[in-house]
Chains A and B, each alone.
Chain A
Amino acid sequence: MKPAISRSEARLLLLRGVIAVVVTVLIGRLWQLQMVEGASYLIRSDRNRFREVDVAAPRGVIYDRNGKILARNRPSFTIAVVPGDLPKTREGEPDPAKDAAVLDRLLDLLARPAPKLRPSPTPTLTPTATKGSANTQTTVSKPVSATMQIPNRQAWYMPRAEIEQAIKDGRLGGAYRAIPIAKYIDEGTAFTVAEDAVNLPGVDLQLDPIRDYPSGSLTSHLIGYMGHIPAGALDKYKAKGYAQNEQVGLTALESTFEHELRGKPGRQTIEVDVNGRRMRTVGQPDPAVPGHNLVLTLDLDLQRAATTALQEALDKSSGFTKATQGVAIAMDPRNGKILAMVSLPSFDNNLFAKGVTTEAWEALTSNPDHPMFNQAVGGQYPPGSIFKPIVASAALQEGVINSQTLLGDGFDGANDGIIWLPNRYLPGDRTKDQKFVSWNAKQGFGWGKINVKKALAVSDDIFFYQLGGGYLDIFRGLGISALDYYTSQFGLGATTGIELQGEGAGLVPDEKWKRLNYAEPWLTGDTYNASIGQGFVLATPLQMTNATAAIANRGTLYKPQLVDHITDAEGKTVKPFQSNIIRELPVDAGTLDVVREGMYGAVNWPEGTAPNVRLPGIAIAGKTGTAEYYRDWDKDGQPDKDPKENLPTHAWFTAFAPYQDPEIAVTVFVANGGEGSSVAAPVAAKILRAYFGIDTAPPAPVTPITPTTTAAPTPTAKPAE
């Protein structure tokens, strides 16, 4: 018995020794971790819980001149699943049964009808909490027009089978990368999911600001849209402190004023839990500075009226072929403020806010009418007869004529709307003479010898051929150099500098240009054509509007501007409007008054080309234009012509009002529209009607004698009969 006891006693002693060793080892290891290496573990625990995050700066809002919202921010709710955060078995292994339970619950919540929330007038993104006051929500002073509500974007849901596959794939690598499974869900559903977070481990609600354009396609060409930083410009943006995945303004004002609109994102340290959920903020945040707001010169109501009027004109057009493209611009001639600028067809820039689909992008870019192209600033067309006021101004200023000088039909004995220009090399051979006709030749009559005012009013081409190019030995004309000089002074051939991209310069052709491009000398016929805005002359609708505005205001060419003033988030003006004068025209006000009177005549005199623009109580001055252009759709190498041998024409009309003290200049352009007087002028009339608030129905239509400018784009010699 005794030896057995002592044996077990000895072994119990050994057990005590084991306990002592165990305690020593454990405490030693504890000392090593906590005392020796403690500092590094403390850093790692801080790295676990602290995150430096950007505080998004709300992007500036864009208003029209009356405070209507054209661009704003709104939150887009995305539901994502983080495979690594889904519930696990006790061993830490993925548990398909629990995954399924979470998905069942989530999909059930998403499928429920959304609870109704009180609609907020401006769902601007609420700035993330920064304890400060700098981030007050951008509020709107004026209510949004009720008709401007656009429907909510369609929510997108990933099918369940795909979700399960994505979770499975996610677990194989990047288990903590969030997989978006529902996008653009409405606010009510988002809140329901957020409230149920306890039952939905691994489910994340993300809130991304996206741009919202209440006026959509009405203003797309002016506001533009945003998107990811283009690959080529990444370095440039990064140097300015942009993150790689940030959205930037890509076109129009969103791009031009990117710097002002963006603001400055703030930074702050937050404490997060293992799921990355924000627990609290730490320390003093570097607050975000909201972007500045733009208040435009644009009048949205006028923009809508112009769009409607122009669209109607396109819809009922029966020109050479059906017209599909057009431009309408309204501008304040006293300062260059753009009141309306429409380019049709347009597109909905909201498509780009949530990332445009490939199909939509294909449809937009392959559309032959180029809806993404702003023709108002980028389209370059022969201006036709609306160019004549510039020619008249130049000739009067140069003293080639005075207001009473008579020119025109009848020098050759036949008042028929036709004159003959002798061949440069065979001046004696009458059969080689080149024929130039005025639009009225088709009606079989001429205007006879008239002064410049009447020539403008009736748009007599013969008068302007002679005025620009001279006529035989009887009259010495202005000449192409002087005409070019004045044309350039009126702003053609150079971009205006408006705050939009893609402006065209147009073309002011001279002798050198023709030699370089055609290897031919400049002919008198070229000057003839240039004198009626045909031939080689090209101008953008905006340039023509600006030239008309300069005539209207008696001699000042303003830079057209879309942004009236810039305010900070509190509404304080940080950059007031300042008109910007391109130049004072080298034309006397008295001279321009003669031209203005001629334009007044075009609308108000019995024989004027645009009687249908008259408005009760408002005196309007204008000029019609019907510009032939070269088109070869059937690709036979010859310009397309209709059965009556007419070339296709663009319809133009430019006007200003009131005549005495103009406050609006309007230009309407309908590509391939037909007659300026019958197609473009009524659109301008509707715009002016909307501007002056004249609601009465237009007066009984006065059928104008349709002027057709008939001059070949390139001079072609025709034998005499």
Chain B
Amino acid sequence: MRQIFWRRFDWMLLALALLLSMFGVLMVASALAGNEVLASWPWRQAAFLGIGILLLFLTSIIDYRLLPSVTYPIYFILLGMLVVIAVIGTVAGGAQRWLTLGELFLQPSELIKLGVILMLAHYLAAREEKMESFLTPLFGLLLFAPAVVLIYLQPNLGTALVLIAIGATMFFVGGLRWRHLVVLAGLGIAAAIAAWQYVLQDYMRNRVMMFLNPTTASVADRYNVEQAMISIGSGGWLGRGLFRGSQSQLHFLRIRHTDFIFSVTAEELGFIGAVLLILLLAFLLLRLLRIASIARDTYGRLIVVGVTAMILFQMVVNIGMNLSLMPVTGLPLPFISYGGSALWTMLIGIGLAESVAMRYRKIEFE
């Protein structure tokens, strides 16, 4: 039975995740080459990856069907933490995202993504039969909204948008009716207008305007995006060579190891390398959706859909920003950008998907 258990493990998914993560370590090394202060960071990223693989296996071993019992407590504890952070942050000012948790464990803003995925999957799966009622999605929305608001207030617009993307996708796949979708969309627009008029303060409006209209972006943002386009454009077919991109190595490109790591890839490895990266991510996403399709229950399927939505949205926003298709937000590229918390979130997400995959056919177990 042990043997059968591991045979259900999606080794292809793991391979794709590891390939992307190791590729990320390499690109971080290239992005930080020549920086003596940050010389150790590629090694740290490799260490994060090692820990992340452990987390991935640990998560996959836990039977996801045991999670519903702890889902709400975990979710509300996370919300409580976000409130505490918001209050203390207001008092102390700045540095809300990390707070006392420091680098020891996940940032709350990363953890809340997984919390929302589990919570919504549980809520929607349990009410699959009651989706005809408008109250079901409405209550779901009320459960979900505090997380978005608290993250937005941090302020962390990027993660708030990721949460919205996750929620929208899960509601959609979870069986939201089209008529409810229309009503909710209408309500959302009305609420947005009301908030714009009465709730949001000027600086908040500016931030939203900046998102909607990139020409009002800050000078630094515009410089970064322009240098990203020069980096990508000068890559050509095969690129300037790893560790040889002039834009990256001479630091014309900024925030290279996180926000603009895709530009480093496109410059140094060219069209071929960049397309390969996009395709690897796409295969990983499709592989996740395969698991969603064969999942034994709605709960498992929605978990995997949530993870898929998280990766897809961050990928689109990050690469879109690099290619000047999207406004500048500080979202990292999944698996590739430097950062332990972000990588662990992704790998734990993959671990959740593996947990679902390993248990998809009842008969072989019982």
Contact = CB atoms under 8 A, between A and B. Distances in A.
B355 interface: no
A61 B364 CA distance: 95
A443 interface: no
A485 interface: no
- A interface SS class: helix
Contacts of B230: 41, 44-45, 48
B233 A33 contact: yes
Contacts of A48: 227, 230, 246-247, 250, 252
Contact of B174 (A8, A15, A91): A8
Given A12-B293, A27-B275, A30-B266, A45 B231 contact: yes
B128 interface: yes
B233 A26 contact: no
Q: Which 9 A-B pairs have the closest CB atoms?
A: A41-B233, A92-B220, A45-B234, A273-B250, A274-B251, A42-B234, A29-B323, A41-B234, A34-B271
A27 B224 contact: no
A29 B325 contact: yes
B236 interface: yes
13 contacts: A8-B298, A15-B305, A19-B312, A22-B312, A22-B316, A26-B323, A30-B266, A30-B278, A34-B232, A34-B274, A45-B246, A45-B247, A49-B252
B286 A272 contact: no
Contacts of A174: none
A238 interface: no
A257 B254 CA distance: 49
Interface in B229-270: 229-237, 246-247, 250-252, 254-255, 266, 270
B175 to A, nearest CB: 6
B233 A40 contact: yes
For A12, A273, A274, the residue with the greatest tally of chain B CB atoms inside 10 Å of its CB is A12
A45 B234 CA distance: 7
B235 to A, nearest CB: 5
Contacts of A35: 236-237, 271
Nearest to B226: A44
A41 B279 contact: no
A278 to B, nearest CB: 11
A90 interface: yes
B252 A23 contact: no
Contacts of A15: 169, 173, 289, 305, 308
Interface residue tally on A, bucketed by range: 35 or more
A693 B276 CA distance: 89
Nearest to B319: A26
Contacts of A4: 128, 175, 298
Contacts of A29: 323, 325
Contacts of A22: 282, 312, 315-316
B66 interface: no
Given A29-B323, A198-B36, A271-B250, A34 B308 contact: no
A15 B36 CA distance: 44
B363 interface: no
B89 interface: no
A315 interface: no
Given A48-B247, A274-B251, A275-B251, A26 B175 contact: no
Contacts of B319: 26
A361 interface: no
B182 to A, nearest CB: 16
B289 A16 contact: yes
Contacts of B271: 30-31, 34-35
Contacts of A93: 218, 220
A26 B316 CA distance: 8
Interface in A1-50: 4, 7-9, 11-12, 15-16, 18-19, 22-23, 25-27, 29-31, 33-35, 37-38, 40-42, 44-46, 48-49
Question: Which among B174, B230, B233, B270 has the highest number of chain A CB atoms within 10 Å?
Answer: B233
A33 B220 contact: no
B310 interface: no
A23 B255 CA distance: 24
B173 A23 contact: no
A316 B126 CA distance: 114
A19 B315 CA distance: 11
A88 interface: yes
Given A4-B128, A90-B330, A274 B233 contact: no
B80 interface: no
B301 interface: yes
Contacts of B231: 45
A455 B169 CA distance: 123
A88 B221 CA distance: 12
A275 to B, nearest CB: 7
A96 to B, nearest CB: 12
Contacts of B308: 15
Contacts of B128: 4
A282 to B, nearest CB: 11
Interface in A229-285: 271-275, 279
A42 to B, nearest CB: 4
A38 B312 contact: no
B251 A7 contact: no
A38 B235 contact: yes
A34 B246 CA distance: 15
A272 B229 CA distance: 19
B320 interface: yes
A92 B174 CA distance: 40
Contact of A7 (B175, B285, B289): B175
B172 interface: yes
Contacts of A26: 278, 316, 319-320, 323, 325
A42 B173 CA distance: 44
A273 B175 CA distance: 54
Contacts of B250: 48-49, 271-274, 279
Interface in A624-641: none
A49 B251 CA distance: 10
Contacts of B142: none
B37 interface: yes
Interface string B198-241: 00000000000000000000101101100101111111110000
Contacts of A8: 173-175, 298, 301
B292 interface: yes
Contacts of B320: 26
A30 B237 CA distance: 11
A44 to B, nearest CB: 5
B251 A34 contact: no
B247 A92 contact: no
Contacts of A19: 282, 285-286, 289, 312
Interface string B302-336: 00010010001001100110010100001000000
A48 B308 CA distance: 39
Contacts of B224: 92
Nearest to A279: B250
